[in-house]
Amino acid sequence: MASTAGPASAHERRSASDATGVVVLGACAAWSLIAAAAHGGRPEGVLLAVLAVAAGYASGRICGELMPVAAPCAGAFAGLGLAVAAPHIGPGPHVTSPLGQTGATAALLTLSAGAACCAAWAARPPGLRIGLRLLAAGIAVAAALLGSTAGFVACLGVLLCSLAADRMRRRAVGLGGLALAVLLVTGATWATAQDALPDGLTVSLEGQLTQHRVLLWHDALDMAGREPGLGVGPGRFAELSPTVAQSLLPDGRPHSAPLQQAAEQGVPGLVLLAAVFCWILYALWRSPRPTPVVLTAGAALTALAAIATVGNALSFTTVTAGAGLLAGLATARPVTNESAQEAAGGPARNNPLER
């Protein structure tokens, strides 16, 4: 009876997380259309991002079941190759700062480091596991060489979190800590945009983020205050931002995903963005994969969320698809190794039920 109840319970948990994801992503797409119908705008960017996350997640689930080591390893090399071959992905200028690139370059390298660490935990031979962790360290070095300080810090943080994940027995505690970290970064960004921080701290942050970026945040917050319900419309930030109008080479983005959502889609859009991140953490919590794999992926996706809070990372389809892919890999149920061990009735190391 126990052997029957276990797989059934796991299937129910996965079905619940999958259904939640469908509802949340569907709501994001629907709300972008509603906001665009109310004030005009171009919802295509949001719809493409939703499609990229869904496609990446589905691909990750499939590849993770068939190739739990090879798939994330291939993803790590693909992300690294994209970042190195095209360090300025996408058209238009980039807002630079002492943090370096906080857009697609930093995001892709962070996701690549997370994928390499997930592959290391899934690998059985010790030599292969060490090699994959060296790959993650090499990705961090590549971030430094590309001038992405934010990417270097994020990759290094993911690697350290992955190494420490083996000591975390209850994944809920680790995932809760990651959610708190994103909340703190978002709160600091919001406080900076509102000039709510002490003068000395504000000056220090502006030195790291650049005054231009902070002015963009001010404009986004003003738009959100004028239209808190529906926002000004998807893709209309560039049309209504005084800072963008005065810039010689504007890229039309506020360089902060939460502030862009609040400005263009109102408070409901911001809530839906937070719901997507919460759904990913919920799916990881319900994942049948070992806790180190789950926490490693969670650390990489949390680092991505932090980068997106102070940059334009989520404006690139490669990043949103990569985030969905990593989440799918970390929530897949491999048909070999772990499944065979469970079928044989053997104990699983870092039991996923220890939540």
Domain boundaries, the chain: 2-343
Per-residue model confidence (pLDDT) at position 10: 55
Helix 291-309 × helix 149-165 angle, to 10°: 160
Q: Is residue 230 a contact partner of residue 39, using CB atoms and an 8 Å limit?
A: yes
Per-residue model confidence (pLDDT) at position 2: 41
**Rounded Cα gap, residues 140 and 4, in angstroms:** 44
Per-residue model confidence (pLDDT) at position 79: 95
**Rounded Cα gap, residues 240 and 117, in angstroms:** 42
Q: What is the CA radius of gyration of the chain?
A: 20
User: Which 3-state string (H, E, C) describes the chain?
Assistant: CHHHHHHHHHHHHHHHHHHHHHHHHHHHHHHHHHHHHHHCCCCHHHHHHHHHHHHHHHHHHHHHHHCCCHHHHHHHHHHHHHHHHCCCCCCCCCCCCCCCCCCHHHHHHHHHHHHHHHHHHHCCCHHHHHHHHHHHHHHHHHHHHCCCHHHHHHHHHHHHHHHHHCCCCCHHHHHHHHHHHHHHHHHHHHHHHCCCCCHHHHHHHHHHHCHHHHHHHHHHHHHHHHCCCCCCCCCCHHHHCHHHHHCCCCCCCCCCHHHHHHHHHHHHHHHHHHHHHHHHHHHHHCCCCCHHHHHHHHHHHHHHHHHHHCCCHHHCHHHHHHHHHHHHHHHCCCCCCHHHHHHCCCCCCCCCCCC
Q: Is residue 95 a contact partner of residue 41, using CB atoms and an 8 Å limit?
A: no
Length of the chain: 355
**In angstroms, what CA-CA distances link 105 with 35, 37, 101, 338?**
30, 33, 6, 34
Structure tokens that stand for 26 in this block: 């569907």
Type of residue numbered 287 = S
**Rounded Cα gap, residues 231 and 260, in angstroms:** 10
**In angstroms, what CA-CA distances link 328 with 47, 53, 79?**
19, 10, 16
Per-residue model confidence (pLDDT) at position 98: 45
Helix 199-209 × helix 171-193 angle, to 10°: 100
Cα 119 to the center of its chain, rounded Å: 18
Per-residue model confidence (pLDDT) at position 117: 97
Per-residue model confidence (pLDDT) at position 8: 54
Query: Per residue of the chain (355 residues), what is the pLDDT tens digit?
Result: 344 445 555 566 667 889 999 999 999 999 999 999 998 889 999 999 999 999 999 999 999 999 999 999 999 999 999 998 865 554 444 544 544 455 789 999 999 999 999 999 999 999 999 999 999 999 999 999 988 888 999 999 999 999 999 888 889 999 999 999 999 999 999 999 888 877 777 777 777 778 888 899 999 999 999 999 999 999 999 899 998 888 766 677 899 999 999 999 999 999 999 999 999 999 999 999 999 999 999 999 999 999 999 988 999 999 999 999 999 999 998 876 444 343 333 334 444 434 5
Structure tokens that stand for 121 in this block: 């935990």
> What phi-psi label fits residue 67: left (phi over 0), alpha (psi between -120 and 50 degrees) or beta?
beta
